[in-house]
Amino acid sequence: MPSKQRSGFWDEMRKSVLLIPSLVVLLCFFVVPIILTIYYSFTNMALSGSNAKNFHFVGLENYVRMLTDPTMLVSIKNTIVFLIGSLAGQTILGFLIAYFMKQKSRTFRSIVGPCFLAGWVMPEIVVSLCFMAFLKENGTLNVILGLFGVRVISWLYEYPMLSVVIANIWHGMAFSMLNFQSALDNVSGELEEAARVDGATRFQVLTRIIVPCIKDSIATNIMLNTLSTLGVYGLIYAMTGGGPGNKTMTLSIYMYNQGLKGMQLGFGTAIGMMILAVGAVCSIVYTILLRNKEE
């Protein structure tokens, strides 16, 4: 073997050796847990009792039970409603805040921006407690509405899904704002100015220039928010516990109730796989829609 080829071979070997620690970490903390999760979803594994140690393979039993359970169907519907409402609110409000802040001075942005970020960095349990106080019968919202003659409303009982959606929008819109701020800062000001010189209105500049320029950021933001919203658990559980009845029973709450409270880890893991499937389908749909728009 020529000396140059031999030297190149050993260089590649050294690079491969340096990758081994990363591959081991990836294998231990990503690949193996995924394989075990898929396997456990096909078992009758339990948190206590005889099935805690001596669980066995039950095939599709967990999935058949899951898809024939009326509560599961309600959970899927509630998850879709919660997902669509949260995505619409976080995306629209996050974009509008970022858009209007773009027109402001650096000083204004440095003051107002951290105020929105403060809500995002709050733990879900803190956000839920704040909104429970805000929405209760003698809370701030009813006091404000009472000034206009509106009756006292028990928001968490009469409109539980709306309540948790609003709380989640408030909690997550700062993330969308950050994404859109970065994207809007990269939109050429000369392009906007040229459109205005040609007689375009502010709305036309927004819809025909700015939005198309940041469509990739919008798609990425929606995809990330979809995955994070599907995993929202603490906020809903603290505010409503999935109730009243099953009105706010999402897949994450249903998984907790069955897997941990019900101590049926195999069945709970199967529900977790359903959440993963919903996220994967949404990601594929977003990717296809974005690709079609580009073509």
Q: Domain for residue 15, yes or no?
A: no
Q: Domain for residue 287, yes or no?
A: yes
Q: Domain for residue 107, yes or no?
A: yes
The pLDDT, as a whole number, for residue 253 is: 92
Question: What tokens were used for 154?
Answer: 């028990």
Overall number of domains in the chain: 1
Q: Do 283 and 227 touch, CB atoms closer than 8 A? A: yes
Question: Tokens 């031999």 label which residue?
Answer: 6
The pLDDT, as a whole number, for residue 2 is: 54
Q: Do 93 and 173 touch, CB atoms closer than 8 A? A: yes
Residue type, 25: V
Question: Domain span at residue 141?
Answer: 69-294
**How many angstroms separate the first and last alpha carbons of the chain?**
48
CA neighbor of 94 nearest in space, from 183, 177, 1: 177
- For the chain, where are the alpha helices, taking DSSP H only? 3-26, 32-40, 61-68, 70-102, 106-121, 124-135, 140-146, 155-158, 160-185, 189-197, 202-205, 211-213, 215-230, 234-239, 251-256, 265-294
Q: How many CA atoms lie within 13 A of 51 on its CB side?
A: 14
The pLDDT, as a whole number, for residue 181 is: 85
Residue 217 sits in a domain whose CATH number is: 1.10.3720.10
Q: Domain for residue 33, yes or no?
A: no
The pLDDT, as a whole number, for residue 227 is: 86
Q: Domain for residue 17, yes or no?
A: no
Q: Domain for residue 46, yes or no?
A: no
Each residue's pLDDT, cut to its tens digit, for the chain (295 residues) gives 455 555 555 566 666 777 778 888 888 888 888 888 889 889 888 877 777 777 888 888 889 888 888 888 899 899 999 999 999 999 999 998 888 888 777 777 777 778 878 888 888 889 999 999 999 888 889 999 888 888 888 899 999 999 999 999 999 888 888 888 888 888 777 777 787 877 778 888 888 888 888 888 888 888 888 888 988 888 999 999 888 888 999 999 999 888 888 888 888 899 888 888 888 888 788 777 766 555 5
Q: Domain for residue 163, yes or no?
A: yes
Question: What tokens were used for 294?
Answer: 């580009």
How far is Cα 145 from Cα 153, in angstroms, rounded to an integer?
9
The pLDDT, as a whole number, for residue 90 is: 92
Q: Domain for residue 60, yes or no?
A: no
How far is Cα 194 from Cα 73, in angstroms, rounded to an integer?
52
Burial class of 179 by CB neighbour count within 10 A (0 to 12, 13 to 18, 19+): buried
